[in-house]
Amino acid sequence: MSRIDDIFTRLRANGGTALMPFITAGFPSLEATERSLPALANAGAHIVELGIPFSDPIADGPVIAASMHEALMAGITPAKVFDIVRNTRDHLSIGIIAMVSFSIIRRLGVERFINEAAAAGFDGLIVPDIDLEQAAEASQLAGANDLSFSLLIAPTTPDERIAEVVSLCRGFVYVLARVGITGEQSAPPQQIAHRVRQIRGHTDMPLAVGFGISTAEHVAAVTQSADAAIVGSALVRRMGEAADPVAAAGQFVGELASGLARRDART
């Protein structure tokens, strides 16, 4: 069983739900990223998404796009992100997942990238822009390395497409709370429970909801039905604005974790 499978299995058995914060690797610095991983774990995160900086971020709003640009200008590369995970992996029990464009994976070679990610200590990949035809190979290679492999389901994804997407996922499915790009929202996401029920008609795999989740209230609304809440832009913004980004990240994630819902235990 992979680490991601184990995390969700234990949470479900105890009626718990997961918090999955996203941070941009190398923003505002490599040191801050490395120090943030244990801080997020201590604050209540179960799985952390590390965004590997990309020059044309997919579906990311201005906050995350700017953070990736700054990280790239500072010389952040996939190899340096792997080093961050390698340096911290033995000291952490949380899951660590790479959010990565398929362009980066393809540039290094699918098999080589996945092998190196696993060797560094990553527990999974989210690949938002991969074609489903190419996803089959990547999913198989991820599974061979005990990595989760997650694709995105948008509010506009039709039912027959949902079935195809979830068949290629391992570990969990990433469900978008709304159409558009990432970014903070004031109102809680709408109709998530209905969408979760629809997707559960195709899979019992854990469902993690992201895009626009930015408060403990939002986390509570999402995890009433989904298995996990993903928070990105709100956290990245706070890290960029703070004199101490690590402390700011830990404090904010602690606030978000207070919103996690508890449900009937599942076996």
Helix, strand, or coil (residue 201):
coil
Decide if pLDDT at 190 tops 80. no
In the residue annotation, 60 being an active-site residue is answered as: yes
| Confidence bin at 267 (pLDDT 50/70/90) | very low
Looking at residues 173-196, what average pLDDT do you find?
68
Is the distance from CB of 146 to CB of 122 less than 8 angstroms? no
Alpha helix ranges (H) inside the chain: 3-13, 30-43, 62-73, 78-88, 102-108, 110-120, 132-144, 159-168, 192-200, 216-223, 233-241, 245-257
Would the pLDDT of 171 be above 60? yes
Beta-sheet pairing, 173-176 with 148-150: unpaired
Flag whether pLDDT at 84 surpasses 50.
yes
Q: How confident is the model at residue 180 (pLDDT cuts 50, 70, 90)?
A: very low
Sorting pLDDT into bands at 50, 70 and 90, what band is 183?
A: very low
Q: What percent of the chain has pLDDT over 70?
A: 93
Q: 236 burial class (0-12, 13-18, 19+ CB within 10 angstroms)?
A: buried
Q: Check 31, 34, 60, 160 and give the catalytic one.
A: 60
| pLDDT given at position 265 | 65
Question: Looking at residue 90, what DSSP letter applies?
Answer: G
Distant-in-sequence, close-in-space partners of 181: CB < 8 Å, separation ≥ 6: 59, 60, 61, 211
Query: What is the pLDDT confidence band of residue 101, given thresholds at 50, 70 and 90?
Result: very high
Active-site residue, selected from the candidate residues 5, 6, 34, 49:
49
222: which residues sit within 8 A by CB, 6+ positions away?
177, 188, 189, 192, 209, 213, 229
Distance (Å, rounded) from C-alpha 29 to C-alpha 190? 35
Strand partners, 176: 210
Residue 199 exposed, middle or buried by CB count within 10 Å (0-12, 13-18, 19+): buried
| pLDDT for residue 188 is more than 60 | no
Res. 100: pLDDT tops 50: yes
Ordered by where they begin, the domains of the chain are 3-257 (3.20.20.70)
Q: Tell whether the model's pLDDT for residue 184 goes beyond 50.
A: no
In the chain, the amino acid numbered 112 is R
57: pLDDT confidence band, cut at 50, 70 and 90?
low
| pTM, 2 dp | 0.93
Q: Is 133 a catalytic residue?
A: no
Report which residue type is found at 79: A
Residue 193 Cα distances to 72, 105, 221, angstroms = 38, 33, 9
Query: Distance (Å, rounded) from C-alpha 178 to C-alpha 226?
Result: 15
Question: pLDDT averaged over the chain?
Answer: 92
